Homo-oligomer: A and B are copies of this chain.
Amino acid sequence: MLKYQAIAEDLRQKITQGTYQPDDQLPLTSELEKIYHASKMTIKRALDHLESEGLIVKRRGSGTFVKGLAMNDLDKLIRHSRSQLFGMSKVYAGHAVTSKVRVFEIVTAPKEVKTQLRLNHETFVYRIVRVRLLDGTPFSLETSYMPIFLIPNLRRQHAEQSIFSYIRDSLHLKIQSAHRIVRVRGANSQESAELHIASDSPVAVVQETYFLASGIPFNYSVTTHEPKHFALETVIID
Q: Which residues of A contact B (CB under 8 A)?
A: 41, 51, 54, 57, 59, 65, 67-70, 77, 84-85, 115, 118, 176-186, 200-204, 211, 213-217, 225, 227, 230-238
Q: Whose C-beta in chain B lies nearest to the C-beta of A215? A: B57
Copies of this chain assembled into the complex: 2
Assembled-state Cα–Cα distance A237/B115 (Å):
21
B204 touches A235 (CB 8 A): no
What are the residues of chain B within 8 A of A85 when measuring CB–CB?
A: 236, 238
A183 touches B68 (CB 8 A): no
Assembled-state Cα–Cα distance A70/B179 (Å):
13
Contact among B54, B177, B183 with A179 in the assembled complex (CB-CB below 8 Å): B54
Q: Whose C-beta in chain B lies nearest to the C-beta of A235? A: B179
What are the residues of chain B within 8 A of A57 when measuring CB–CB?
A: 176-177, 211, 213-215
Contact among B59, B70, B177, B200 with A213 in the assembled complex (CB-CB below 8 Å): B59
Query: Taking A57-B211, A85-B236, A236-B85 as contacts, is the C-beta distance between A231 and B68 under 8 angstroms?
Result: no
What are the residues of chain B within 8 A of A54 when measuring CB–CB?
A: 177, 179
